[in-house]
Chains A and B, each alone.
Chain A
Amino acid sequence: MKALCWMGANKTSVETVPDPQILNPRDAIVRITSTCICGSDLHLYDGFIPTMEQGDILGHEFMGEVVETGNGINKEKLKVGDRVVVPFTIACGNCFFCQRKLWSCCENSNPNYWIAEKLMGYSPSGLFGYTHMLGGYAGGQAQYARVPFADVGPLKIPAEISDDKVIFLSDIFPTGYFGAVNCDIQPGDTVAIWGCGPVGQFAIRSAFMLGAERVIAIDRFDYRLKMAEEGGAETINYEEVDDVVQTLKEMTANIGPDSCMDAVGMEAHGNNFLAFVDRAKQMLMIETDRPTVLRQCIQACRKAGTVSVPGVYSGFADTIPMGAFMNKGLTMKTGQTHMMNYMQPLLERIQNNEIDPSFVISHRVSLDEAPEMYKTFRDKKDHCTKVVLDPWANGKAA
């Protein structure tokens, strides 16, 4: 089959590799019909997350048709021919955490848990195509993928809904929604969201679904801010204001947003001195994460408010304003998304025409063009917001 492989920092290529095999009883093989490039793939592309290895297959947002199941799969739950969206987190369904619906903390899905333990104390669940530290599972930017514990994660999709409408149930729609859930939104609340990439866009719409009065979206790209406005948000282009925190203050009668969401993560851009220091440290590999946005979230949040962090961090970040965090009595909520709690309810919202997630798609290309698209997406060229790949189209089709 064809698969997109990570070949080192800033280098990917489409390779022909063996088709995946069933390795465990609860595995399934999925023939992929749609797969996407995620903003978090860019952290891997840029080489900022350790324990990638040359030849690893990337991709964790994919859907398709089940073509084979292991003998441990209950046929009533999943059978050959089912059309499924596969969540990016892998969960066993039986451990302490899965039983408490904390799926992304699954104890049993990461065979390399001990690498993550060195870094984090305890390991989160395994993920598709996202470093050896988080499982080393082959990803879904390919024609087929092996899905472990396939009787737990994959969500069956009725034939009448198009791929475009449901593909984002694999990660970014539930992730944006989870970010909004973590904001603990109360009636009348104002939510400030940093980052108007796809997760930010879904977070904006989810915040309104969960009852937010106002959403203020922050980014530096006008095309993304425009999309945020279309979702009902007020916007700040942080390159056009002196101080985001001050601007937010002025917009909220000096109270501050009730919750602040970091939908950017470890590669934040910024125009202040600390952001420059972070960049230098990251290049010297003495800091893995650039927490410009997290700092602003903590500073800007109203007292006793909530900071929600769906943005990806991998290691260590410096100069976090803990004084502000403690003295203002803030709460921080974060984590990889507990996907299985949100996929079905959000599918129902799509079926009820409350939302059509395909609005974020800016590019549809073949898998062959993926290496080029990684560059375009990273450099935010061509108003690139979300890339959907067709693994079966040849060359420059689409």
Chain B
Amino acid sequence: MNHSEMNKPDEYDMNDSNRSDDQDSGYNSGGNWESMHNFLDALIPDDWSPSARKWVPIAAGGALALIGLSRKSAFGFTLAAAGGALAYYGSRSGETQTESVARGSVLLNCTPEEAYSRYRNFEDLPTFMKHLQSVTKIGERQYRWVARGPFEIAIQWDAEVFDEKVGESISWHSTPDSAITMEGSVRFAASPANRGTELTSVTRFDHPASDLAQTFAKLLGKDPSFLMQQDLRRFKALIETGEIPTTEGQSHGPRSAMDKAFEALDPDSSKRRESRMSETLNENWRTA
């Protein structure tokens, strides 16, 4: 199996572009706009980041509009109008996000069978999936998943395994009566030359208008793939070493007043403190 197949297997293709929801988009009144919108959607490569989707059309559209206006001709005017529409398209990008897709992969130092059987034990997933509270078996192939949302609000969905190949893959999706629509799958493939197992995982959550789902969308935050990758790294550590590395609870000297304030306000701040540091880091490197 080659790498591109690993990363984007066909049956896992859950198109991670931000699908627009025409029902409440509010800007599909004109047929021209809609066809242009669809045309641009098709034109922009799927692997562009959301910010590229937004800012590239804005920048390109803005430039076109300026060039067009400077020509002071009929053609220039058309160009300016097209540029304006393009910029508008960019500015609306991301506003109608209706799903979040998380992808992740890790190399595990074990056989695909071992990795499969550890992962297939869904009840144990919360050990390494930090935002999961519990997974409970509720039927032959059905499980109830409970995640911890902001302010400890529990978010729950029911999902069933609809396809699995022992030692190779597991696929599951939400049951018809589930509060949240989602699908997930994980694949285990032997890495060449006894390097272990390549685990690839994809999960997609729909964001219908319900409050629950909106809360969950917030929980997943800006980058669901980042959270998934962290979960997978914890799974890797657990499989390879029998434990998950941590410094939580270790000794330290007096923290700064700012850190103490954050800690008092937010019991989860040990993690976020490091996110803050990494943001500062990014700022520094951007200027470097």
Task: Please give the residue numbers on chain A whose beta carbons come within 8 Å of chain B beta carbons, in ascending order.
Answer: 1, 3, 5, 7, 13, 15, 17-21, 23-26, 50-51, 53-57, 72, 92-96, 99, 107-115, 118-119, 126, 132-133, 135-138, 142, 146, 148-149, 285-288, 315-316
Cβ contact of A286, chosen from B109, B249, B274, B288, cutoff 8 A: B288
A72 in contact with B243 given A5-B252, A118-B282, A132-B277 (CB within 8 Å): yes
A114 touches B226 (CB 8 A): yes
In the complex, the answer to whether A26 meets B243 with C-beta atoms within 8 Å is: yes
| A56–B253 alpha-carbon span in the complex (Å) | 6
Name B238-288 residues within 8 Å CB distance of A: 240-256, 259, 273-274, 277-278, 280-282, 284-285, 287-288
Q: Which residues of B contact A19 (CB under 8 A)?
A: 251
Contact A108 B245, CB 8 Å, known A19-B251, A55-B252:
yes
Chain A minimum-CB-distance residue to B282: A118
B19 within 8 A of A: no
- Could you tell me the distance between the alpha carbons of A56 and B244 in the complex, rounded to whole angstroms? 21
Query: Chain B's nearest CB lies how many Å from the CB of A254?
Result: 38
Contacts known (A21-B249, A25-B242, A137-B247); A107 close to B281, Cβ less than 8 A: no
Not counting A23-B249, A50-B277, a sample of 7 additional A-B residue pairs whose C-beta atoms are within 8 angstroms of each other reads A23-B246, A55-B259, A96-B109, A109-B245, A132-B277, A146-B250, A285-B288
Q: Is the CB of B250 within 8 A of A137?
A: yes
Q: Is B237 an interface residue (CB 8 A)?
A: yes
Whole-angstrom distance between the alpha carbons of A18 and B109 in the complex? 36
Asked if B109 and A15 sit within 8 Å, CB to CB, the answer is: no
| Alpha-carbon distance between A146 and B248 when the two chains are bound, in angstroms | 12
Residue of B nearest to A316 (CB): B288
Contact flags B93-128 to A (C-beta < 8 A → 1, else 0): 000000000000001010000000000000000000
Establish whether residues A138 and B251, one from each chain, have CB atoms under 8 Å apart when the complex forms: yes
Tell me whether B254 and A20 are in contact (CB under 8 A): no
The interface residues of chain A lying within 8 Å CB-to-CB of B229 are 114
**Centre residue among B240, B245, B248 by max chain A CB count within 10 A:** B245
Cβ B241 vs Cβ A13 within 8 A: no
Evaluate contact between B250 and A23: CB separation under 8 angstroms: yes
> Inside 8 A of B251's CB, which chain A residues have their CB?
1, 3, 17-20, 57, 138, 142, 146
Contacts A132-B277, A288-B288 known; A17 to B252 CB distance under 8 Å?
yes
Task: Give CA–CA (A51, B249) in the complex, Å.
Answer: 19
Contacts of A107 in B (CB 8 A): 236-237, 240
- In the complex, what residues of A have CB within 8 A of residue B8's CB? none
Q: Which residues of A contact B249 (CB under 8 A)?
A: 21, 23
Residues of A within 8 A of B141 (CB): none
Q: How far is the CA of A40 from the CA of B44 in the complex (A)?
A: 48
Known pairs A50-B281, A148-B245; A286 contacts B287 (CB<8 A): yes
> What are 12 A-B pairs at a CB distance below 8 A?
A17-B252, A21-B249, A26-B241, A53-B259, A54-B256, A55-B252, A55-B255, A93-B241, A99-B109, A108-B245, A111-B244, A114-B226
Among B237, B242, B277, the residue within 8 A (CB) of A115 is B277
**Cβ contacts under 8 Å, B245 to chain A:** 24, 92, 108-111, 126, 135, 148
B253 close to A57 (CB less than 8 A):
yes
Q: What residue of chain A has the Cβ atom nearest to residue B273's Cβ?
A: A53
In contact, A54 and B236 (Cβ under 8 angstroms):
no
Q: Which residues of B contact A (CB under 8 A)?
A: 107, 109, 195-196, 226, 229-230, 233, 236-237, 240-256, 259, 273-274, 277-278, 280-282, 284-285, 287-288
Residue among A1, A53, A149 with most chain B CB within 10 A: A53
Most A C-beta atoms less than 10 A away, residue of B109, B230, B251: B251
**Chain B residues, CB < 8 A from A315:** 285, 288
Residues of B within 8 A of A133 (CB): 277, 281
Whether the Cβ atoms of B274 and A119 lie closer than 8 Å is no
Q: Are B246 and A111 in contact (CB under 8 A)?
A: yes
Assembled-state Cα–Cα distance A25/B242 (Å): 8
The interface residues of chain A lying within 8 Å CB-to-CB of B288 are 285-288, 315-316
Smallest beta-carbon distance B18→chain A, Å: 24
By Cβ-Cβ distance, the 8 closest A-B pairs, closest first, are: A5-B253, A55-B253, A15-B253, A108-B237, A94-B240, A54-B256, A111-B245, A92-B241
Residue of B nearest to A12 (CB): B253
Question: B107 — which chain A residues lie within 8 A by C-beta?
Answer: 96
A137 to B99, CA, bound (A): 38
CB-CB < 8 A to B233: which residues of A? 113
Contacts of A20 in B (CB 8 A): 250-251
Q: How far is the CA of A15 from the CA of B229 in the complex (A)?
A: 37
Interchain nearest-CB distance for B128 vs A (Å): 12
CB distance from B235 to the nearest CB of A (A): 11
Looking at the complex, which one of B248, B255, B281 makes contact with A118 (CB distance below 8 Å)? B281
Q: Are A53 and B240 in contact (CB under 8 A)?
A: no
User: Which residues of chain B are near A149, meaning CB under 8 Å?
Assistant: 241
In the bound complex, residues from chain B placing their C-beta under 8 Å from that of A112 are 274
Chain B residues, CB < 8 A from A72: 242-243
Give the CA-CA distance A19 to B252 in the complex, in Å: 10
CB distance from B202 to the nearest CB of A (A): 20
Q: By the criterion CB–CB under 8 Å, are A108 and B241 in contact?
A: yes
Q: Which of B109, B280, B285 contacts A316 (CB 8 A)?
A: B285
CB contacts (< 8 Å) of B244 on chain A: these are: 24, 111
- Once the chains bind, are A95 and B230 in contact (CB under 8 Å)? no
User: Measured between alpha carbons, how far is A248 from B42 in the docked complex, in Å?
Assistant: 62
A289 to B225 Cα, complex, angstroms: 32
For A13, A118, A136, the residue with the greatest tally of chain B CB atoms inside 10 Å of its CB is A136
Distance from A164 Cβ to chain B, minimum over Cβ atoms (Å): 27
The residue on A at minimum CB distance from B283 is: A285
Least CB separation from B234: chain A residue: A111
